[in-house]
């Protein structure tokens, strides 16, 4: 072999040796197992899941009690305004008869016009008599509730039976949900509902009374009246929220925690990673069903109750990887 040939063979041998060295250092040595992936698991369960129609809405009043003037007169006092809570029998104002107002006004005018001590004494006596004889009627709340509106203010002249206040009784406040047309056929009177109010607090319980006839052609919804059970004493008008009406049930459904499902937005598929008896993970494509309170139904394939599924550590988990189950 020539000197030049020997030199090229030496270079080639070095390159091959160098390349092989890099390959061996990057790959795991024969017989060395990859470390187990730490995961958290849950078990497949059988539950009854509610089929729910959800819709936004707000609290409203069915009927308001009217507090009106008992006779022609002047509204002397009014101690409440819109939104105030009132109790049965509470005095919220008073109306003075028009004759009493005129008598007092006349006596006061006499007092202002008096020029002599005698005239002043007569005017003062007339004013005392007029004030003692004043006919005034208190305005009492007929039923515990919330003041919805007022139609008069202190000092206004009012006539017999004129409306002064409207009070919404506590048991007349309902929730009106705006249900989309496609969901309406599934909503019926008597179905149970829960209401989550934007103002916070625990969910309110209710029962569907009926679908009201005033549907909207703008957003294709129809109002559904939900009666609160029992009436909520702390509830007021104009509170927004979301009603969840139970329109059916899936008994003995196969469920896993919602976090156990990994959705692929590109393919539109959903998968779970089940853990076998040897603590290895295997991906299974699933068809999810209804979701409720952090659980989701697995329509197919059939999963055995008690089967372990990964709920934490899903992203990047290889098929068949060994896992280390952590609490």
pLDDT for 250: 93
Q: How many structural domains compose the chain?
A: 3
Separation between Cα atoms, residue 206 and residue 197, nearest integer Å? 13
Same domain, 245 and 201: yes
Parallel, antiparallel or unpaired: strands 281-292 and 295-300: antiparallel
pLDDT for 226: 95
Lowest mean pLDDT among 8-22, 138-152, 275-289: 8-22
Separation between Cα atoms, residue 241 and residue 206, nearest integer Å? 13
Question: Mean pLDDT: which of 1-15, 106-120, 153-167 is highest?
Answer: 153-167
pTM for the structure as a whole: 0.62
pLDDT for 232: 60
* Position 244 pLDDT exceeds 60: yes
Same domain, 178 and 319: no
pLDDT for 10: 41
Same domain, 184 and 312: no
* Position 19 pLDDT exceeds 50: no
Establish if 290 belongs to a structural domain: yes
Q: What is the pLDDT of residues 175-208, one digit of tens each?
A: 999 999 999 999 999 999 999 988 778 888 999 9
Establish if 30 belongs to a structural domain: no
Q: Burial code of 249-266, b = ≥16 C-beta within 10 A, e = fewer?
A: ebeebbbbbeebbbeeee
Same domain, 93 and 225: no
pLDDT band at 92 (very low <50, low <70, confident <90, very high): very high
* Position 66 pLDDT exceeds 80: yes
Length of the chain: 327
Q: Look over the chain and give the mean of its residue pLDDT values, rounded to a whole number.
A: 85
Residue 46's DSSP bridge partners are 254
Establish if 140 belongs to a structural domain: yes
Same domain, 128 and 177: no
Q: Which two tokens stand for residue 221?
A: 């919804």
Same domain, 43 and 57: no
Same domain, 131 and 272: no
Separation between Cα atoms, residue 183 and residue 222, nearest integer Å? 10
Same domain, 268 and 296: yes
Same domain, 149 and 182: no
> Domain holding 125: CATH number?
2.40.50
Separation between Cα atoms, residue 65 and residue 24, nearest integer Å? 88
Establish if 154 belongs to a structural domain: yes
Q: What is the pLDDT of residues 276-305, one digit of tens each?
A: 999 999 999 999 999 988 999 999 999 999
CA angle 61, 67, 69 (to 5 degrees): 150
More confident call, 208 vs 122: 208
Tell me what percent of the residues of the chain surpass a pLDDT of 90. 54
Q: Which two tokens stand for residue 239?
A: 């509170």
* Position 122 pLDDT exceeds 60: yes
Same domain, 210 and 286: no
> Domain holding 297: CATH number?
2.40.420.20
- Cβ neighbour number for residue 70 with a 10 Å cutoff: 16
* Position 31 pLDDT exceeds 80: no
Same domain, 228 and 274: no
Helix H, strand E, coil C: the string for the chain is CCHHHHHHHHHHHHHHHHHHHHHHHHCCCCCCCCCCEEEEEEECEEEEEEEEEEEEEEEEECCEEEEECCCCEEEEEECCCCCCEECCCCEEEEEEEHHHHHHHHHHHHHHHHCCCHHHHHHHHHHHHHHHHCCCEEEEECCCCEEEEEECCCCCCEECCCCEEEEEEEHHHEEEEEEEEHHHHHHCCCCCEEEEEECCCCCCEEEEEEEECCCCECCCCEEEEEEEECCCCCCCCCCCEEEEEEEEEEEEEEEEEEHHHCEEECCCCEEEEEEECCCCEEEEEEEEEEEEECCEEEEEECCCCCCCEEEEECCCCCCCCCEEEECC
* Position 323 pLDDT exceeds 50: yes
Establish if 9 belongs to a structural domain: no
Q: How far is CA 192 from CA 45, 180, 195, 303, in A?
A: 25, 18, 10, 31
- Which of residues 161, 194, 225 is at a domain's end? 161
Lowest mean pLDDT among 66-70, 108-112, 236-240: 236-240
pLDDT for 15: 38
Q: Structural domain of residue 197, as residue ranges?
A: 53-61+171-250
Q: Please enumerate in sequence order all residues whose Cβ is within 8 A of that of 8, keeping only pairs 6 or more positions apart, or say none.
A: none
Same domain, 216 and 256: no
> Domain holding 214: CATH number?
2.40.30.170
């Amino acid at each position: 072999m020539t000197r030049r040939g020997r030199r090229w063979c030496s270079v080639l041998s070095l390159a091959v040796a160098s390349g092989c060295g890099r390959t061996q250092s990057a790959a795991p040595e024969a017989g060395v197992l990859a470390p187990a992936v730490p995961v958290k698991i849950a078990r497949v369960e059988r539950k009854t899941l509610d089929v729910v129609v959800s819709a936004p809405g707000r609290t409203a009043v069915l009927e308001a009690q009217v507090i009106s003037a008992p006779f022609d007169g002047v509204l002397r006092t009014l101690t409440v305004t819109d939104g105030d809570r009132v109790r049965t029998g509470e005095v919220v104002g008073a109306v003075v008869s028009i004759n009493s107002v005129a008598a007092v006004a006349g006596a006061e005018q006499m007092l202002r016009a008096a020029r002599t001590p005698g005239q002043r004494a007569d005017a003062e006596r007339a004013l005392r008599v007029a004030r003692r004889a004043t006919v005034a009627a208190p305005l009492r709340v007929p039923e515990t509730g919330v003041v919805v509106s007022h139609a008069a203010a202190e000092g206004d002249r009012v006539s017999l039976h004129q409306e002064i206040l409207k009070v919404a009784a506590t048991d007349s406040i309902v929730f009106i949900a705006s249900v989309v047309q496609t969901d309406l056929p599934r909503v019926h009177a008597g179905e149970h509902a829960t209401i989550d109010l934007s103002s916070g607090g625990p969910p309110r319980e209710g029962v569907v009374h009926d679908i009201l006839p005033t549907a909207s052609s703008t957003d294709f919804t129809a109002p559904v009246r939900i009666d609160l059970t029992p009436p909520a004493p702390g509830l007021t008008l104009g509170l927004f929220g979301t009603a969840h009406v139970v329109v059916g049930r899936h008994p003995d459904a196969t469920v896993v925690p919602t976090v156990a499902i990994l959705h692929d937005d590109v393919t539109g598929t959903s998968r779970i990673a089940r853990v076998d008896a040897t603590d290895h993970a295997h991906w299974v494509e699933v068809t999810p069903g209804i979701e409720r309170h952090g659980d989701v139904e697995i329509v197919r394939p059939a999963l055995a109750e008690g089967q372990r599924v990964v709920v934490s550590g899903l992203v990047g988990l290889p098929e068949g990887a060994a896992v280390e189950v952590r609490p």
